[in-house]
Amino acid sequence: MDKLKIEGGHSLKGEIEISGAKNAALPILCACLLTQELLELENVPHLQDVETMLKILEHMGVGCFREKQKVSLNAAGLNNPYAAYQWVKTMRASILTLGPLLARYGEAKVSLPGGCAIGARPVDQHIKGLEAMGAEIHLEEGYIIARAKRLKGARIFTDMVTVTGTENLMMAAVLAEGETVIENAAREPEIVDLANLLIQMGAQINGAGTDIIRIEGVKTLHGARYAIMPDRIETGTYLCAAAITGGDVFLRRARNTILDIVLDKLLDAGCTIHLENAGIHLKAPPRLKAVSLRTAPYPAFPTDMQAQFMALNAVAEGVATIRETIFENRFMHAVELMRLGADIQIDGANATVHGVARLLGASVMATDLRASASLVIAALKAEGETTIERIYHLDRGYEQMEQKLSALGAQIKRVR
């Protein structure tokens, strides 16, 4: 299994480009199931999760063609509405095929995702919403078996804010009979990106980005050409990497309107930030100040940036408290950061981080996607060499991370 070796202590300087967003690309790829016509996508990142989704779609009979950052999809030949466990177990976002398959094809067999390192992550709200739209759903040998002649519009109130739940129900509703209203909807920018594509395909959607989304179903959708938004979590991750090393970087194509609270926290930590149309420029002080945070659904602080900020606070001046409200087991990176010399106490959903003067390189293990990003950030600061194992987690969500960090002056190499 590949490992990363990082020699810390080098300040990041220079310019890199931000890739397309993983969490927008995954639902957007599934939208191809809603039409018989060609969907041409641009700015599609090269990530393990994207490759897995393309395999799942191909297995369903979708024609997939990829050239660099462009992906063309044609689901006219869709003939096998089945997402197998072998893929779903590696990527729970496969559940996003369920809504569009039911809406367009009237039946679907999709493996239940099962648990994940960061939490139980059930999909009961996805199922509840589809049943409210008239789908007949039962579970059989670990699979969701769903059928519906034509889905009917419904008023759906989700018990908690769910990102992929909102996306699945939105994609189901665009071809349903009548109006669907999703209340307590997630407001993440990736949901707006998906809605913008669906509207371009002929869907009638109002309120994406707010907590009430109204969808008037139509009979058919047509093809479209669409460019996927830049990745705000990748952006936040590189801003943190620059901040912890006292660096000075420009992130080309980063969108500054969807990262407010993350940028605010970096300003509180002492960074200087310039927002430009072409991207985001960050200059960091020699030592950061500790910043406390509480994760919650957008526009509050994203849980997908919690681990990276724990790494920042590990060497900041002062004490920070971190409260994780979305996932019940998302502090796995803390014990690994402690192997580098961090001083962290965990008490259920709360972490207290006492900033230390220095971290020392060691061998550490990645446990999930964002945890691995926090270990890379800490390793860039740690004295000496750090080895990070199980970086397949990283490859799921970061395109060419070692190349991008090397371009900013990091001493990093992948050991196959």
Q: Report the interface residues with ligand EPZ, using CB under 6 A.
A: 22-23, 26, 93, 119-126, 160, 162-165, 186, 303-304, 326-327, 369-370, 397
Outline where DSSP puts E strands in 253-289: 272-276, 279-283
Q: Which residue has the tokens 């970096």?
A: 266
Q: Based on CB atoms, which residue is closest to ligand EPZ, 122 or 142?
A: 122
| Shortest distance (Å) from residue 56 CB to ligand EPZ | 14
Q: What is the DSSP string of 143-158?
A: EEEEE-SS-B--EEE-
The conformation of residue 286, written as its DSSP 8-state character, comes to: S
Number of H helices, E strands in the chain: 14, 24
Q: Indicate left, alpha or beta for 292 from its phi (over 0: left) and psi (-120 to 50: alpha).
A: beta
| Shortest distance (Å) from residue 281 CB to ligand EPZ | 25
| Shortest distance (Å) from residue 295 CB to ligand EPZ | 8
| Shortest distance (Å) from residue 121 CB to ligand EPZ | 4
| Shortest distance (Å) from residue 302 CB to ligand EPZ | 6
User: Residue 165 is inside which H or E element, if any?
Assistant: helix 163-173
Q: Based on CB atoms, which residue is closest to ligand EPZ, 74 or 374?
A: 374
Q: What tokens were used for 273?
A: 């930030």
Q: Based on CB atoms, which residue is closest to ligand EPZ, 8 or 100?
A: 100
| Shortest distance (Å) from residue 272 CB to ligand EPZ | 28
| Shortest distance (Å) from residue 397 CB to ligand EPZ | 5
Q: Based on CB atoms, which residue is closest to ligand EPZ, 163 or 244?
A: 163
Q: What tokens were used for 299?
A: 């526009």
Look up 116 and say whether it is catalytic. yes
Q: Based on CB atoms, which residue is closest to ligand EPZ, 330 or 404?
A: 330
User: Residue 372 is inside which H or E element, if any?
Assistant: helix 369-381
Instruction: Return the amino acid letter for 329.
Output: N
Phi/psi for 313 (5° steps) reads -65, -20
Q: What is the DSSP string of 190-224?
A: HHHHHHHHHHHTT-EEE-BTBSEEEEE--S-B--E
* Cβ pair 244, 9 in contact under 8 A: no
The stretches of 269-331 forming alpha helices (DSSP H) are 306-314
Q: Which of 30, 116, 240, 271 is catalytic?
A: 116
Q: Based on CB atoms, which residue is closest to ligand EPZ, 160 or 319?
A: 160
* Cβ pair 134, 152 in contact under 8 A: yes
Query: Sign of the C-alpha dihedral, residues 172, 29, 27, 51?
Result: positive
Q: Based on CB atoms, which residue is closest to ligand EPZ, 38 or 117?
A: 117
User: Residue 53 is inside which H or E element, if any?
Assistant: helix 48-60
Catalytic annotation, residues: 116
